[in-house]
């Protein structure tokens, strides 16, 4: 039994092996293409030989490709064979190459002329002898004899910050791969090895500050939404605080808030007259229960630090009654801390992505539903007023979670995009801006590497 085990181990280790070892398995680019300083692809190509071997060439190629699938007129992808493809970056390392054979060709000509001038009786024998010797000499010059054991070839390549990240969707993908090839003598003349390279991008710390979105809607209510940060890893939670204060607590009552995460992908395919746009709802929640609080009014209409708990029967707890205050001097505030869980699936959600061929953006869509009471008429009429807020958010890859440090403070009210629509009344905001975007374009080439991000 022990003999069989040794035989299996021998058979397993009796093959020549080729291995690609990376110092950093995942390449992370920090910041947008305009701000990123780039990164390095470093590693070693390891060749293990079981015996002295004639090697003709050892080379390693780093290749990045963009592939966009061409849909039908209705936008559906029916075949994975109908696509557009081009290279993003290409670089080749040649660690071992065959020697030049020009000198050996000259030697062959001279020896051939000598054999022609020899005696007729020994012509065939001398010719065969010289041709045999020169052919062996020429054949050996085309190969390098490497000893038995492990041979290591380090490699390094600078990756510019404008390089697009790895992405894989149902319509398009950008992939990077290392391919190693060893040409040798013998029956099996090639040894091959490939390794996929994952390139990710993360937001810089100074751009990941918290934000506060606040405004007033149609003199009906005020709202405030506070985020601790702007970038959220896949599989993590989008944590934020929501506050809503009706202008008239007797006329309006918050019923629920429906929250959806919407992903919008745009693919620019040259064969199509217009970009292929796909929009989908990734996930959503509906919140009915809120903390009802009484907040003191001040001259600046800001929230007071004194908060009083409010029960459903419009009564305060005995230990929280303000002796010299009245309900008229306070506002009713609906408050809730929300943890919106992102799915941990690469098929349901993709990182926020902006490049020339592929653009992916994410928005939090908050639908507020308020119950409106008409107290002027003798007959009570109940209506529901709804309005929607669309707040851009940045989604990053889950592997970037440990690379981004959260900032636990709120910034001043910024100019983030707030778009509002309604199903009951038309709503419009003057302050509308688009989410931050960046262009991915690389120009120029160097030596035996090339980078290309032009149009398809």
Judge whether 137 lies within some domain: yes
What is the pLDDT, as a whole number, of residue 411? 37
Round the CA-based radius of gyration of the chain to a whole number and report it: 35
What is the pLDDT, as a whole number, of residue 260? 95
Is residue 67 within 8 Å of residue 81, measured between CB atoms? no
Is residue 355 within 8 Å of residue 441, measured between CB atoms? no
Report the distance separating Cα 121 and Cα 98, nearest Å: 38
Judge whether 451 lies within some domain: no
Judge whether 298 lies within some domain: yes
* 266-281 pLDDT per residue, tens: 988 877 788 888 899 9
C-beta neighbour count of 220 within 10 angstroms: 17
Is residue 89 within 8 Å of residue 163, measured between CB atoms? yes
Judge whether 446 lies within some domain: no
What is the pLDDT, as a whole number, of residue 388? 93
**What residue has token string 């990164």?**
39
Judge whether 1 lies within some domain: no
Q: Identify whether residues 173 and 233 lie together within a single domain.
A: no
* 389-404 pLDDT per residue, tens: 999 999 988 887 665 4
Q: Which domain holds residue 211?
A: 205-425
Report the distance separating Cα 26 and Cα 456, nearest Å: 27
Report the distance separating Cα 190 and Cα 196, nearest Å: 20
What beta strand segments (E) does 220-377 contain? 221-227, 231-233, 237-246, 252-267, 276-287, 291-296, 307-309, 330-341, 353-354, 358-374
Report the distance separating Cα 136 and Cα 120, nearest Å: 25
What is the pLDDT, as a whole number, of residue 297? 62
* Beta strands 190-202; 26-30: pairing state: parallel
Judge whether 177 lies within some domain: yes
End residue of a domain, out of 149, 184, 202: 202
Burial class (CB in 10 A: 0-12, 13-18, 19+), 60: buried
Report the run of H or E that residue 141 belongs to, with start and end. Answer: helix 123-141
What's the total number of domains in the chain?
Answer: 2
Which 3 state secondary structure label does DSSP give 55?
Answer: strand
State the pTM of this model: 0.67
* Beta strands 190-202; 172-184: pairing state: antiparallel
Q: Identify whether residues 241 and 356 lie together within a single domain.
A: yes
Q: Identify whether residues 194 and 220 lie together within a single domain.
A: no
What is the pLDDT, as a whole number, of residue 447? 45
End residue of a domain, out of 187, 202, 217: 202
Q: Residue 130 — φ and ψ, nearest 5°? A: -65, -40
Judge whether 354 lies within some domain: yes
End residue of a domain, out of 183, 202, 221: 202
What beta strand segments (E) does 70-171 contain? 83-96, 144-146, 149-159, 167-168
Helix H segments across 263-331? none
Q: Identify whether residues 255 and 117 lie together within a single domain.
A: no
Q: Identify whether residues 217 and 160 lie together within a single domain.
A: no
C-beta neighbour count of 422 within 10 angstroms: 16
Judge whether 76 lies within some domain: yes
Report the distance separating Cα 223 and Cα 304, nearest Å: 15
Q: Identify whether residues 119 and 250 lie together within a single domain.
A: no
Q: At what angle do helices 102-116 and 123-141 cross, to 10 degrees?
A: 170
Domain at 192, CATH number = 2.60.40.640
Q: Identify whether residues 179 and 233 lie together within a single domain.
A: no
Q: Residue 316 — φ and ψ, nearest 5°? A: -100, 160
Q: Identify whether residues 163 and 98 lie together within a single domain.
A: yes
Q: Identify whether residues 42 and 184 lie together within a single domain.
A: yes
The DSSP 8-state label assigned to residue 120 in this structure reads S
What is the pLDDT, as a whole number, of residue 303? 41
Low-confidence ranges of the chain (pLDDT < 70): 1-14, 72-80, 98-141, 187, 296-329, 375-380, 401-456
Q: Identify whether residues 160 and 241 lie together within a single domain.
A: no
Q: Identify whether residues 262 and 127 lie together within a single domain.
A: no
Q: Identify whether residues 37 and 182 lie together within a single domain.
A: yes
Report the distance separating Cα 338 and Cα 424, nearest Å: 26
For residue 420, the cross-strand partners are 389
């Amino acid at each position: 039994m022990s003999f069989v085990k040794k035989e299996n181990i021998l058979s397993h280790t009796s093959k020549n092996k080729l291995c690609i070892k990376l110092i950093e398995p995942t390449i992370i680019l920090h910041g947008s293409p305009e701000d990123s300083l780039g990164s390095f692809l470093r590693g070693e190509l390891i060749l293990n030989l079981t015996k002295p071997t004639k090697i003709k060439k050892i080379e390693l190629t780093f290749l990045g490709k963009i592939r966009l699938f061409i849909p039908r007129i209705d936008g559906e992808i029916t075949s994975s064979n109908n696509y557009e493809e081009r290279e993003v970056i290409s670089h080749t390392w040649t660690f071992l190459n065959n020697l030049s054979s020009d000198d050996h060709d000259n030697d062959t000509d001279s020896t051939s002329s000598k054999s022609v001038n020899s005696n007729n009786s020994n012509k065939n024998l001398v010719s065969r002898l010289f041709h045999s010797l020169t052919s062996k000499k020429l054949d050996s010059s085309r190969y390098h004899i490497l000893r038995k054991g492990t041979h290591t070839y380090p490699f390094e390549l600078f990756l510019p910050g404008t390089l697009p990240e790895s992405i894989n969707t149902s319509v398009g993908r950008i992939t990077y791969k290392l391919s190693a090839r060893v040409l040798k003598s013998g029956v099996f003349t090639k040894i091959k090895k490939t390794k996929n390279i994952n390139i990710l991008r993360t937001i810089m710390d100074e751009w990941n500050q918290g934000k506060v979105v606040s405004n007033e809607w149609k003199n009906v209510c005020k709202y405030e939404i506070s985020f601790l940060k702007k970038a959220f890893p896949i599989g993590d939670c989008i944590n934020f605080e929501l506050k809503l204060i009706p202008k008239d607590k007797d006329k309006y009552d918050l019923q629920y808030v429906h929250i959806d995460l919407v992903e919008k992908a745009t693919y620019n395919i040259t064969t199509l007259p217009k970009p292929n746009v796909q929009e989908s709802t990734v996930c959503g929640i509906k919140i009915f229960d809120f903390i009802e609080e009484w907040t003191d009014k001040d001259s600046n209409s800001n929230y007071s630090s004194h908060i009083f708990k409010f029960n459903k029967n419009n009564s305060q707890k005995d230990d929280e009654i303000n002796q010299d205050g009245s309900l008229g001097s306070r506002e009713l505030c609906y408050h809730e801390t929300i943890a919106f869980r992102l799915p941990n699936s690469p098929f349901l959600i993709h990182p926020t992505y902006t490049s020339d061929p592929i653009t992916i953006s994410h928005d939090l869509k908050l639908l507020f539903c308020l119950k409106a009471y008409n107290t002027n008429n003798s007959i009570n009429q109940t209506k529901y007023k709804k309005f929607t807020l669309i707040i851009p958010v940045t989604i990053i890859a889950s592997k970037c979670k440990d690379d981004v440090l959260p900032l636990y403070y709120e910034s001043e009210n910024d100019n983030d995009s707030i778009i509002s629509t309604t199903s009951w009344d038309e709503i419009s905001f003057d302050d509308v801006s688009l989410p931050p975007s960046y262009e991915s374009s690389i120009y120029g080439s160097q030596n035996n590497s090339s980078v290309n991000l032009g149009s398809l």
